[in-house]
Amino acid sequence: MKALILILLLMPFMVLAEEDIATLRSADISIEPDAPRMGNEENKDMKRKRNYPMQPPTIPHKVSGYRIDLNSNKCLSCHSRRQVTDSQAPMISVTHYMDRDGNFLAEVSPRRYFCNQCHVLQKEVKPLVGNYFEDIDTVLKNKK
pLDDT in tens, 20-62: 666 777 777 788 888 877 778 888 888 888 888 889 999 999 9
Q: What is the pLDDT, as a whole number, of residue 13?
A: 62
Q: Which residues pair with 124 in a beta bridge?
A: 40
Q: What is the pLDDT, as a whole number, of residue 94?
A: 93
Q: Per residue of the chain (144 residues), what is the pLDDT tens digit? A: 777 777 777 776 655 555 566 677 777 778 888 887 777 888 888 888 888 888 999 999 999 889 999 999 999 999 999 999 999 999 999 999 999 999 999 999 999 999 999 999 988 888 888 888 888 888 889 987
Domains of the chain: 39-125 (1.10.1130.10)
What's the CA gap between 142 and 139, in Å, rounded?
A: 5
Q: Single out the residue of 89, 87, 105 nearest to residue 97, CA to CA.
A: 105
Element (H, E) at 123: strand 123-124
Q: What is the pTM of this model?
A: 0.67
Judge whether 42 and 123 are in contact, CB under 8 Å: yes
